[in-house]
A and B are shown apart, each in its own frame.
Chain A
Amino acid sequence: MLNKIWTIFKRDVKVNFREVMPLYIMLAPLMLAIGINLITPGINDTTVNIALIEGENPAQEQCLNEFAHVETFPGEAEVLSRVKERDSLIGILPGDNGYYILAQGNEPESVVEYAKLLNVFFESGVDIENSKASIVEFGETVPPVKKMLVNILLLMIPMLSGMLITLNIVEEKADKTISAINLSPTSRTAFILGKSLTGMMISLVTTVVCILITGFYNVNILLLLLVAAASTVLAMTIGFIQGINNDDVMEAVGSMKLVFLPLAGSVAGYELLSGGWQAFFWWSPFYWSYRANNIILGKEGSAGELLLYTAIIAAICITAYALMLPRIKKGLQ
């Protein structure tokens, strides 16, 4: 049987490399990884955006630029017009008794408070040189936002492989080629494993390359691959099930949305909700994958914690695979 799985795998690799789509599935995450490298420095440097009148007070502009992004405009009307735009930008304008803060009214409170603080610094003539504080840095270079985006990318890679399987199977069903497998000496299990192996390889190779592109050279790649492999098992299972259950591409594409829901929900739940609410996501392997990847990428947490998360992911994914295997086999008949 191993020989047949290997033969299907080799054939799939050969066929897939002739097609644009599998190459694309591998290249798309790499392009996203490059995109992450390009946008994260800007996001990390985000504090508050301030609008000032051009040339009105060069010392003020220089001072505020030390703490915030400063944009200048020819006059008050232009500052007002800019403040009214959709993004959070605060104007600091000269008034009768010093400067005042001009806000649209829908900015987060912290943004307005930050602007007030900066205005006080300038008006008081406070100098950093007089600070009674010092800073000790630990030498970390990867900002949390980059870690988060790379983590999301790592969750998406197995899902893309799963989606490819769905689309392939639906198309094979439409072409009525899938039933040909029944005439060959290959068992359905070997066929499924062989097909899965290709998706697994695409997923794992892409994961490693993305990690290297985004600069996470010192993370434990083996542990990361372990989590990716467990997630890929789930993505493959979903891919096969959706391919088999849906009779046309429309239904398959529609139901793909349902798969992205737990993925997006798990990430949002972990990042945005406080401890108590996170229990809502314990059932989701994506939640545990995200947590495990977080530990690996951030080189934080204990080995025991990581092994526990990986075991939970593997348990959920293998259980799902075992439960669905008979259905997949039946669907391929």
Chain B
Amino acid sequence: MKLLSSIKKELILAARSFYFYIEIGFALIMLAVLLFAVPEHSGARSEEYLYLDLPPAAAKVLIDETLDEDIDGRPQETELKAEGAVYKALLFQTDERDIFLMESEAAAETMTKHKKAIGAVITMDKGELHYKYFLQGYESKRLKNLLLVLHAQDFDTLETRMNEQKVINVDSGHIPLNDRENAIPPLMAFSGSLMSMFIMAAYVSLDRQEGVIKAFAVTASPVSKYLISKMFVLMLTSVISGLIVVAPLMGTKINYALLLLLLLTTGVFASMLGLLTASFFQNITKAFGIIFLPMVLFMLPAIAYYIPGWDPVWVKLIPSYPMLQGFKEIISNGDAMYVLLVSAGFLAAGFVLFLITNNRFRKTLTV
């Protein structure tokens, strides 16, 4: 009863505060950004600068092969500027690449250097094609090895053998996310769940400043109920703002029960972490300093999220990693068991943090 009363009181206070509406407003802005500014397929392209130092017949064969991949089947004449010079080029646009055919080796080299792109000069010696690549210098040894070994075998043979490779997919029903959908999990994890940590710290600092925590000490209600009521308001805000973003974008395609579960459990974990941190400081300015670094640390798994090959073990140990992966599984209708396990983990961790925080607040109500 006391808990219900505390929650009701917190909800009334939240409804009167601008914070609640700022969160809703933020969610609406995010939704608008995702709908109108983030395309389903971003079309990020790479640039290549090429010079063919070949007899006309050989050059024509290569140009025709490139034209086969060109979107409209014909090159565009263009002019490129670099280091005070203007270079004429033919532009071939494929689905993922802009290939500039330059008029000289020097032009290809200058443009590659200027644009920090990749460039090559193709020559012919004794009837065989030779490739000279221009690289910036920071590329890894493994990438350089790959470029070299690509030209140790005939291309047609290579392509044929690649197409013959047998590939077994363990989970064949997987549908890849488009760029817009792919942006939802980081948003859910960072804006929804992890911000709860910051907001909770601010909440408690405010109450401490206004003497609310001291006043609580002389009421019949235990501190645990105060903490739970605060957490409840935050979780409610997190769920509402999360649904505002996800529902219009994903419609009925995802499992909302799992989404709610993960939003709530990660909210419990993050808000308890924020509460515990705030309990050590007099005001939010001081708590902010301590909260800021973990928040940056928690953002690191976003790099692993966008760079699939970079997944060191230490990144997987950061709590936001399973958070991100959990939201990704939900958005892509993937492994429900993983989401349940992650939720259970965050709930357990949140409960432990709650016990520690509750103990701390009981002992040091005015700290």
State how many angstroms separate the Cβ of A279 from the closest Cβ of chain B: 10
Binds A, one of B171-179, B259-267, B353-361: B171-179
State how many angstroms separate the Cβ of B85 from the closest Cβ of chain A: 12
Secondary structure of the A contact surface, majority rule: helix
State how many angstroms separate the Cβ of A241 from the closest Cβ of chain B: 14
Q: How far is the CA of A25 from the CA of B206 in the complex (A)?
A: 21
Q: Are A254 and B22 in contact (CB under 8 A)?
A: yes
- Assess whether B284 is interfacial by the CB under 8 Å rule: yes
Q: How far is the CA of A251 from the CA of B293 in the complex (A)?
A: 21
- Assess whether B149 is interfacial by the CB under 8 Å rule: yes
State how many angstroms separate the Cβ of B205 from the closest Cβ of chain A: 6
- Assess whether B37 is interfacial by the CB under 8 Å rule: yes
Task: Known contacts A102-B168, A250-B199; decide if A258 and B132 are in contact (CB<8 Å).
Answer: no
Which listed residue (A43, A48, A258) contacts B29, Cβ 8 A? Answer: A258
Chain A contacts of B307 at CB under 8 A?
A: 43, 46, 145
Q: Are B18 and A254 in contact (CB under 8 A)?
A: yes
Q: Are A254 and B37 in contact (CB under 8 A)?
A: no
**Could you mark each residue 117-133 of chain A with 1 if its beta carbon is under 8 Å from any beta carbon of chain B, else 0?**
10111011011111111
**Could you mark each residue 93-129 of chain A with 1 if its beta carbon is under 8 Å from any beta carbon of chain B, else 0?**
0010100111111111001110011011101101111
- Assess whether B220 is interfacial by the CB under 8 Å rule: no
**Could you mark each residue 286-311 of chain A with 1 if its beta carbon is under 8 Å from any beta carbon of chain B, else 0?**
00000000000010101000000000
Q: Are B135 and A136 in contact (CB under 8 A)?
A: yes
- Assess whether A187 is interfacial by the CB under 8 Å rule: no
Q: Are B137 and A137 in contact (CB under 8 A)?
A: yes
Which listed residue (B17, B45, B116, B170) contacts A84, Cβ 8 A? Answer: B170
Which listed residue (B45, B112, B170) contacts A80, Cβ 8 A? Answer: B170
Q: Are B132 and A42 in contact (CB under 8 A)?
A: no
Q: Are A274 and B133 in contact (CB under 8 A)?
A: no
**B interface size (C-beta, 8 A):** 99
Binds B, one of A52-60, A167-175, A192-200, A318-326: A167-175
Task: Known contacts A126-B152, A133-B148, A246-B18; decide if A21 and B166 are in contact (CB<8 Å).
Answer: no
State how many angstroms separate the Cβ of B107 from the closest Cβ of chain A: 15
Q: How far is the CA of A44 from the CA of B140 in the complex (A)?
A: 7
Which listed residue (B134, B142, B296) contacts A67, Cβ 8 A? Answer: B142
Binds A, one of B66-74, B249-257, B309-317: B309-317
Which listed residue (B25, B148, B170, B203) contacts A102, Cβ 8 A? Answer: B170
- Assess whether B43 is interfacial by the CB under 8 Å rule: yes
Q: How far is the CA of A49 from the CA of B309 in the complex (A)?
A: 6
Chain B contacts of A134 at CB under 8 A?
A: 130-133
Task: Known contacts A32-B296, A261-B29, A272-B42; decide if A131 and B22 are in contact (CB<8 Å).
Answer: no
- Chain B residue with the shortest CB-CB distance to A65: B142
Chain B contacts of A43 at CB under 8 A?
A: 303, 307, 310
Binds A, one of B53-61, B157-165, B343-351: B157-165
**Could you mark each residue 227-267 of chain B with 1 if its beta carbon is under 8 Å from any beta carbon of chain A, else 0?**
00000000000000000000000000000000000000000
State how many angstroms separate the Cβ of A80 from the closest Cβ of chain B: 7
Q: Are A120 and B152 in contact (CB under 8 A)?
A: no
- Assess whether B146 is interfacial by the CB under 8 Å rule: yes
Q: Are B133 and A135 in contact (CB under 8 A)?
A: yes
Q: Are B137 and A138 in contact (CB under 8 A)?
A: yes
Q: How far is the CA of A252 from the CA of B112 in the complex (A)?
A: 46
- Assess whether A185 is interfacial by the CB under 8 Å rule: no
- Assess whether A280 is interfacial by the CB under 8 Å rule: yes
State how many angstroms separate the Cβ of A47 from the closest Cβ of chain B: 5
Q: How far is the CA of A14 from the CA of B43 in the complex (A)?
A: 51
Chain A contacts of B132 at CB under 8 A?
A: 133-136
Q: How far is the CA of A28 from the CA of B288 in the complex (A)?
A: 11
Q: How far is the CA of A251 from the CA of B18 in the complex (A)?
A: 6
Q: How far is the CA of A167 from the CA of B206 in the complex (A)?
A: 12
Task: Known contacts A133-B131, A277-B42; decide if A120 and B144 are in contact (CB<8 Å).
Answer: no
Which A residues from 136 to 179 make CB contacts under 8 A with B?
136-145, 160, 163-164, 167-168, 171, 174
- Assess whether B143 is interfacial by the CB under 8 Å rule: yes
Chain A contacts of B172 at CB under 8 A?
A: 105
- Chain A residue with the shortest CB-CB distance to B310: A46
Give 23 CB contacts A-B under 8 Å.
A20-B286, A28-B292, A44-B140, A46-B309, A47-B142, A47-B309, A49-B311, A87-B304, A87-B316, A104-B169, A105-B169, A108-B176, A124-B157, A132-B128, A132-B130, A132-B131, A136-B133, A140-B136, A174-B209, A250-B19, A251-B19, A253-B284, A258-B25
Beyond known contacts A97-B166, A124-B158, A273-B38: 9 more, CB 8 A cutoff: A43-B303, A84-B170, A86-B338, A88-B311, A108-B308, A132-B128, A171-B283, A273-B42, A300-B115
3 residue pairs, one from A and one from B, having the closest CB atoms: A87-B311, A88-B308, A105-B169
Residues on B lying within 8 angstroms of A by beta carbon are: 17-19, 22-23, 25-26, 29-30, 33, 36-39, 42-45, 81, 109, 112-116, 128-138, 140-153, 157-158, 161-162, 165-174, 176, 179, 183, 191, 195, 198-199, 202-203, 205-206, 209, 283-286, 288-289, 292-293, 296, 300, 303-304, 307-312, 316, 325, 332, 334, 338
